Structure 1
Amino acid sequence: MRIELLSPAEMGEADKRAIEAGPFDGIGLMHNAGAAIAREVLARYPAAGPVHVLCGPGNNGGDGYVVARLLAESGAAVSLWASGPPRAGSDAAIAAAECPLEPLPLADFSAAPGSIVVDALYGAGLSKPLDGEAARAVERVAGLGLPVVAVDLPSGISGDSGRATGPAFYAELTVTFARKKPGHLLMPGRGHCGEVVVADIGIGDAVIGGLQVRTFENGPALWLTALPVPDVDTHKYRRGHVGVFSGGPASTGAARLSALAAARSGAGAVTVLSPANALMVNAAHLTSIMLRKIDDTAELEAFLAERRPSALVLGPGFGVGEKARDFALAVLGAQGGVEGLVLDADGLTAFRQQPDLLFAAAAPKDGPALVLTPHDGEFARLFPDLATDEVLSKPERARKAAARCHGIVIAKGPDTVIAAPDGRAAINANGAPWLATAGSGDVLAGLVAGLLAQGMPAFEAACAAVWMHAEAGSHFGPGLIAEDLPLALVPVLRALIAEP
């Protein structure tokens, strides 16, 4: 799996470097791209009616001229519609000159039901909303319900952010080149792309490797080598110990969900850290998971010193206030042994008035790693300026937040982004709608902590947890509730560990 995601600017640089390295020049790469698209159209729509190829004036349109020529040579009925001529001397102009079809004005575009549309108007590089004749073409295609094959990215969708700032095509199939773009995975772009095929057009891995890409598609290829697998001579404390803070007697379930997920992840020992008034409630529901009374920072510090947990979870069902802040700061200030703190739910909201207090505590490089798991509302409480900055893409917001908090940020949603302070970011693509259920986030927090406790680096642990959480939700499917998720993780983990 090729996991790098290229921004439109990085893709342009990759094109330039590939042309310099050879063997393909610019028109050669364009011929390869057009051929890949034409093959997909012919394979998927062998009995389709007329094909309408819509071409813009840039390189995306140049790909379209190649597609139109090749489809016509194959015997397909092709109509070519152009929004304007390519720039003289450009590769797109060469492709247009090679195409025997006479382009019709896009302003006159019309089609009948049963047609296929190839969208080669603007692709990933468009930085402004579609308007005029292009916007009208989108409306006509949508009104007729015609299947669309998009070249690189559906026109109207930002390759950087996935945003649709105006009209945009909905494609059944998107054919992109060399690598995906962030806009293929970020919402709403992901919903506009349909199936995404990445075509090899002659831009080699060495070219991509030279770009020092910092954005990735989240998946096992990104972190599998760091996934902890126990040795034959291991014992439970070598597999890590997780502590999960519980709320009061009426709010204990969330902590137990986190604790069970940490245990299922492979952590050798898990302890629920409960206030005295909730001990009996927790005890009635726990079997393999241990229980400890923690009512104040003195008891917490004693637990850290005696039992040396590797990672802790604070927030699920805990309550918002000074106690949450004190406990979080005590963990971040712990010396020796604690690998990380996962701050979720109430643990995040507790710092909404004093986020800098949390960020300063996480700053020392030799301290525990901080992992934040905010949904959009929680993100806005800690990073209000970033949340309201409409220029930034979701990965850019998450990167800036990670740098500010000196920790890993899991910006949750259907397009969850995981970002590290060093600028790495991963976009998750296997999100499942079944995970939109109460308690799902508590399970994710416990899963992150369980992997951290076993020695997995914080960024990789966060990425792995997000992917496994989503995969478990997809495998379970309809009817999923949060209580199902820890057990649903088992086949996912089994398959990962079995991978060569």
Structure 2
Amino acid sequence: MPISDRNAPVLTAAEMRAAEAAVIAGGVPEYALMQRAGKAAAEIIWRAGAKRETLVLCGPGNNGGDGYVIAKALRDYGVPVKVAALADPVTESARQARAEWGGAVEGFFHVETHFAQVVDALFGTGLTRGLEGEVAARLVQLVEASERSYAIDIPSGISTDDGMPLSAVPHFDLCIALGQWKRAHMLRPATGHWRRKHLCDIGIPAPDATLFRLERPRLSPPADDAHKYTRGLVAAVAGEMPGASALAAEAAARGGAGYVRLIGVQSVNRTSHAIVRASMKNEAALSDPRIRALLIGPGLGRGEAGAERLGQALVHSHPVVLDADALWHLAEGAMAALPENAILTPHAGEFAQIFANLSGLDISGTVIELAVTAAQSSGAVVVLKGPTTVVAGPDGRAVVADAAPSWLSTAGTGDVLAGLCAARLAVTGDPFRAAAEAVWLHGEAARLAGPAFLADDLLPYIPAAIAACL
């Protein structure tokens, strides 16, 4: 199940075919689905481009059938439309769609080049090999010569499951996904081939999905009788670079936790007065049973002192968020000490160090497969950070965040994310939900902060990001 009813499924090509087959087996004719898809896409194109002259490019399969439906629907809106086909239809539904279009169909290589709008309905989902060179070059030519361009479901030439280009692929203004999101809609480099994307719901459910697109979560304000401990105590452990742990603690304090304790910091003076300082020599600071989330790693250090602090922290088996240097120590043999409710937040380099050399573990595929495999092998929730961030749980569920601002690629933002993970873990008690909420809040705070920020600049925008979810 998704963590929120706002999170839409993300399917492989095989999963999409199975979902469509289930709807058809339930009594909905395939051609009825094609009509739904084509008419929904046509409405979007009409709203975006009004009555600009439009060329619809149709392939031989059902994606081409969608194109014929789009052409007819646009014509019904009063749009001047031309259709060019790469080949004759080969499926029954596509043949029916072409017959109902009823207008002229020009050759793909012979149609004139310059149109205000071009619609790519050549192949879409399920392509396993690249377009022939002449076909790919002609598609690029037609799209680049247009004022606006639309890819139906997936741009022709993109692999559905890993987002890799199989041949030359033009850049579109809008990618119109049909039925459900596909993995290519979330993964780079595919996502660099359109400016915007839109999902058309055409009545194809995916009840067995395990991967979802991360959308805005639903958060609740504290209960009327809440106090600092019921809202959640976060204990953050410092190390050699105390500024990093202080930054993470500040994020935790703003991320919903009721009480944040920063342990082991002596040299950082500028932290909020509400963040309580404690010494590592104070055994009660870490053993406190009221701790709902332990945060360790930012600025911890990779020497013996860091390893000792990590061991001191993990022995109490609190729910934990491990980031940065704590992940380095994890790769050096601390994996066995992980408690049940753990969140790991590696970037790609840290991930490779932790998981690539584990005996018997096959780490390969897209970031989705990597994160899911790592979560299942470690028993922890894994937040694989990057341009596309994936949150994966040991039970096989995952959410993918594909829309975070690229301005997050600056020092310290990972510390802020770790602090948010700890805050949400303290509030919810659910590592998967907590990590997903934190990733969304992190991206929204960055969006609100605007361009060219420091990691510290994210902190004032965390409350506004939370407010958007209430």
Decide which of 26, 30, 41 is 1:21's aligned counterpart: 26
> How far has the Cα of 1:429 moved from its partner?
3.5
Distance, in Å, in 2 between the alignment partners of 1:40 and 1:48 is 13
Residues 249, 262 of structure 2: 8 Å contact kept = yes
The TM-score with structure 1 as length reference comes to 0.85
Corresponding position of 1:44: 48
> Does the C-alpha gap of structure 1 residues 69 and 283 become closer, same or farther in structure 2, counting only changes over 3 Å?
closer
> How far has the Cα of 1:158 moved from its partner?
2.8
> Is it true that 1:334 corresponds to 2:334 in the alignment?
no
> Is it true that 1:492 corresponds to 2:468 in the alignment?
no
Gaps of 5+ in 2: 1-5
* Structure 1 residues 255-300: Cα deviation after superposition (integer angstroms, max 9, x where no partner): 11100111111222212222xxx51x12454522111222xxxx47
Matched residue count? 463
Residues 219, 464 of structure 1: 8 Å contact kept = no
Corresponding position of 1:244: 236
Distance, in Å, in 1 between the alignment partners of 2:342 and 2:363 is 26
Residues 83, 133 of structure 1: 8 Å contact kept = no
Residues 143, 149 of structure 2: 8 Å contact kept = no
Decide which of 359, 371, 396 is 2:335's aligned counterpart: 359
Distance, in Å, in 1 between the alignment partners of 2:379 and 2:41 is 44
Q: Which has the higher helix share?
A: 1
> How far has the Cα of 1:109 moved from its partner?
5.2
Distance, in Å, in 2 between the alignment partners of 1:481 and 1:165 is 38
> Is it true that 1:416 corresponds to 2:392 in the alignment?
no
Corresponding position of 2:113: 111
> How far has the Cα of 1:168 moved from its partner?
1.8
Decide which of 273, 287, 296 is 1:305's aligned counterpart: 287
Corresponding position of 2:302: 320
> Does the C-alpha gap of structure 1 residues 293 and 270 become closer, same or farther in structure 2, counting only changes over 3 Å?
same
> How far has the Cα of 1:391 moved from its partner?
6.2
* Structure 1 residues 404-431: Cα deviation after superposition (integer angstroms, max 9, x where no partner): 1211111112221111110001011431
- SS in structure 2 opposite 1:282? coil
> Is it true that 1:155 corresponds to 2:156 in the alignment?
yes
Gaps of 5+ in 1: none
Corresponding position of 2:274: 288
> How far has the Cα of 1:432 moved from its partner?
1.4
> Is it true that 1:370 corresponds to 2:342 in the alignment?
yes
> How far has the Cα of 1:62 moved from its partner?
1.0
Residues 372, 407 of structure 1: 8 Å contact kept = yes
> How far has the Cα of 1:460 moved from its partner?
0.3
> Does the C-alpha gap of structure 1 residues 30 and 318 become closer, same or farther in structure 2, counting only changes over 3 Å?
same
Distance, in Å, in 2 between the alignment partners of 1:166 and 1:77 is 30
> Is it true that 1:141 corresponds to 2:142 in the alignment?
yes
The TM-score with structure 2 as length reference comes to 0.90
> How far has the Cα of 1:228 moved from its partner?
5.8
Corresponding position of 2:3: none
* Structure 1 residues 186-215: Cα deviation after superposition (integer angstroms, max 9, x where no partner): 223233233323223343xxx433xx1101
> Does the C-alpha gap of structure 1 residues 460 and 150 become closer, same or farther in structure 2, counting only changes over 3 Å?
same
> Is it true that 1:255 corresponds to 2:245 in the alignment?
yes
Decide which of 92, 95, 98 is 2:94's aligned counterpart: 92
Residues 56, 84 of structure 1: 8 Å contact kept = yes
> How far has the Cα of 1:143 moved from its partner?
4.1
Decide which of 399, 410, 428 is 2:401's aligned counterpart: 428
Distance, in Å, in 1 between the alignment partners of 2:146 and 2:330 is 49
Q: Which amino acid aligns with 2:337?
A: A
